[in-house]
Amino acid sequence: MTSNRRDWLKQTTFAALGLGVSLRSLANEEGLPRQFGSELGIINLGSNENPYGISPNAKKAITDLLGEANRYQYNIAGLKSFKKEVAAYYKLAPEQVLITPGSGEGLNLAARYYTGGNIVVGDPTFMILPRTAKAIGTKVIEVPLTADKVHDLNAMLNAMDDNTKLVYICNPANPTTTIVKTDALKSFCEEASKKAVVLLDEAYMDYADPTETQTMLPLIEKNPNIIIMRTFSKIHAMAGLRMGFIAAHPTTIEKLGADLFSNTQFCTSSIAQIAALASIKDEAHRNESRIKNAAARKYTIDELKKMNYNVANSHTNFLFFQLKNFKGDFAKEMLDKHNILLRSYERADGNYCRVSLGTIDEMKQFMKVFKEKNA
Ligand SMILES: Cc1ncc(COP(=O)(O)O)c(C=O)c1O
């Protein structure tokens, strides 16, 4: 594609989307939708999506259901027990589940619900919850991660006070890729939940090694102060379909649900629902994604380590590391000059890069550019 055509496409694409923002700000804030990324010749390593696509079974289920897209979900026989089936897969009861269009909506919902005090989060962490909380006037107490970029559980416990409504742990963590070990996290949940709600964001749990960290889903059975968020946007590769859920004790689900819809399944499409049902049954698709992700991860970490970058041992489908030499906005430069979309963070102790793990070919292209820059 010629650069003129590329520039024209960039402009018209964003004009058509009605987005009065520069490419740079779009990349920083929201990531760039993949289809536009490929269309523009951009390698999209910015939003931690699954680059290998949805399960073939989900694709077929979507195609088969299209003829019924004129019907509401509750009029489609195969979707009547949607929530029950999703719950059953995760060994939950339907009353313990609130369906949400992606977990981002769940995080916003939690921010809207737990107001009138403060919330405690790691720093850095995934920003939807703290950003929404701040926007509506909730005090956000940010607790620095440890030197190894892991949630500092003791410090977070100490930061909680009588006004703390909620503490947020992203495990595995975004943007830092680290985990908190199962036992330590369990003890933390038990302790912290005596004082406030503990919200565990498990968006990347399917990528984690279960010998290192595990879901806290079993804790919700007896403890109304534990909330878990899950999404189909990551290993299920359904980011554009918008599907996720909140898991919690039925009393908590009832309270949160009142803020959303009487029947939360209404807020997700029949297409997303049928795809989710097919996807949870396709263990082979998840395994294949995990294997390919591990290979891309190993390749990229090995290459970065050869260049003496200190890369955290990622438990996710992205990497996080400190840049050595780069001053300024690294993400902007990578996008503007090299057509590679990623995230960078200018923090007090230096510049950091967060790069999603694309296909091995995409990572080779990323490394080729990165070696030349030696950023
Ligand atoms: C930690 C974490 N939680 C939640 C989300 C929200 O994802 P979605 O709204 O697509 O489920 C993301 C997306 O990147 C994430 O990284």
CATH of the domain at 167: 3.40.640.10
Amino acid 11: pLDDT:
42
- Main-chain dihedrals φ then ψ at residue 276, nearest 5 degrees: -65, -40
- Which is the closest atom of ligand 1 to the Cα of 105? 9
- Please answer whether residues 127 and 343 qualify as being in contact, where contact means their C-beta atoms are separated by less than 8 angstroms: no
Across 307-331, average pLDDT: 94
* Same-domain pairing of 220 and 105: yes
The pLDDT of residue 35 is above 80: no
Residues 295, 318, single domain; the answer is yes
Domain count, the chain: 2
Q: Give the pLDDT score at 144.
A: 97
Q: How far apart are CA 338 and CA 329, in angstroms?
A: 13
Are 74 and 155 in a shared domain?
yes
Tens digits of per-residue pLDDT, 58-114?
999 999 999 999 999 888 998 989 999 999 999 999 999 999 999 999 999 999 999
Residues 209 and 247 in one domain: yes
Positive/negative CA dihedral, 368, 295, 351, 337:
positive
How far away, in angstroms, is 104 Cα from ligand 1 center?
5
Determine the angle formed by the axes of helices 283-306 and 56-65, rounding to 10 degrees. 130
CA torsion, ordered 123, 128, 131, 133, to nearest 10 deg:
-100
Does the pLDDT at position 16 exceed 80? no
Q: Is 171 in the pocket of ligand 1 (CB under 6 A)?
A: no
Q: Return the pLDDT at 365.
A: 96
Q: Is the CB of 239 under 6 A from ligand 1?
A: yes
Domain ends where: 252, 280, 308?
Answer: 280
Same domain, yes or no: 51 and 63 = no
Q: What is the mean pLDDT of residues 240-263?
A: 89
**With a 6 A CB cut-off, is 356 part of the ligand 1 pocket?**
no
Q: Can you spell out the DSSP letters for 246-291?
A: EEE-HHHHHHHHHTT-SSGGGGS-HHHHHHHHHHHT-HHHHHHHHH
Nearest residue (by CA) to ligand 1, atom 9, is 104
Question: Which one of 230, 231, 343 would you pick to mutate in the ligand 1 pocket, going by the greatest count of ligand atoms within 8 A of its CB?
Answer: 231
At 210 the pLDDT is 95
Residue 226: CB within 6 Å of ligand 1?
no
Residues 345 and 233 in one domain: no
Residues 6+ apart with CB under 8 A from 282: 55, 56, 57, 58
Beta strands in 42-137 (DSSP E): 43-44, 97-100, 118-123
Asked if omega into 94 is within 30° of 0 (cis), the reply is: no
49 CA distance to ligand 1 middle (Å)? 9
Which positions ≥6 away from 229 have C-beta within 8 Å? 103, 106, 107, 110, 199, 200, 201, 202, 203, 244, 245, 246, 247
Say yes or no: 244 and 266 in one domain. Answer: yes
Closest ligand 1 atom to 126 CA: 1
Instruction: Report the CATH number at residue 20.
Output: 3.90.1150.10
pLDDT higher than 60, residue 4: no
| Length reported for the chain | 375
Which of 253, 280, 307 terminates a domain? The answer is: 280
Identify the helix (H) or strand (E) that includes residue 355: strand 350-356
Cα of 128 from ligand 1 centre, angstroms:
8
Looking at the CA of residue 103, tell me the nearest atom of ligand 1.
11
Mutate to test the pocket of ligand 1, among 30, 179, 232, 234 (most ligand atoms within 8 A of CB): 234
Q: Are residues 90 and 111 in the same domain?
A: yes
Element (H, E) at 198: strand 197-201
Identify the sign of the CA torsion 355, 361, 367, 368. Answer: negative
Does 29 share its domain with 176? Answer: no
Same domain, 337 and 257: no
Q: How many CA atoms lie within 13 A of 259 on its CB side?
A: 16
Half-sphere exposure of 285 (CA within 13 A, CB side): 22
Ligand 1 mean position to 217 CA, how many Å? 18
pLDDT of 347: 93
231 lines ligand 1 (CB under 6 A): yes
The boundaries of the domain holding residue 41 are 3-55+284-373
Separation of CA 254 and ligand 1 centre (Å)? 23
211 and 336 in a common domain: no
- Residue 71 shares a structural domain with residue 190: yes
The residues near 159 (Cβ < 8 Å, ≥ 6 apart) are 120, 141, 143
User: What pLDDT is recorded for position 8?
Assistant: 39
* Ligand 1 atom 2: residue of nearest CA: 203
Q: Which of 280, 303, 319 is the last residue of a domain?
A: 280
SS3 state at 222? coil
Residues in Cβ contact with 117 at an 8 Å cutoff, skipping those fewer than 6 apart: 138, 139, 163, 164, 165
Local confidence band at 5 (pLDDT 50, 70, 90 cut-offs): very low
Average pLDDT over residues 226-251: 98
* Closest-lying ligand 1 atom to the alpha carbon of residue 170: 1
